[in-house]
Amino acid sequence: MAKGKPGIDIERCKGCALCIEACPEKILKMSESFNRQGQPYTICFEPERCTSCMSCAIICPDSAIRIWRYVAV
């Protein structure tokens, strides 16, 4: 299984939670603090479990998530 981690641009996030529902690993949750727009934002609390499946990035309507993939060297 590929490994990676989500890179979340918290200032683009509007807290819609679509990515949280979409993540098959259930490793995303809403923050308890707010971004500069006054919105809660998604955080990844167990990035080591990310499979870089891209589901969160694809569903995000605001293109706030990029997936970093680890490659073997």
Residues that bind ligand SF4 (CB under 6 A): 6, 8, 13-19, 22-23, 25, 27-28, 41-42, 44, 50-56, 59-60, 62, 64-65, 67
Nearer to ligand SF4, 48 or 72 (CB): 48
Nearer to ligand SF4, 15 or 72 (CB): 15
The closest alpha carbon to 4, from 47, 55, 45, belongs to: 47
Spatial distance between the Cα atoms of 46 and 15, rounded to a whole number of angstroms: 19
**Residue 40 three-state SS:** strand
- Shortest CB 73 distance to ligand SF4, Å: 21
Nearer to ligand SF4, 55 or 73 (CB): 55
In this structure, how many other beta carbons lie within 10 angstroms of the beta carbon of residue 58?
13
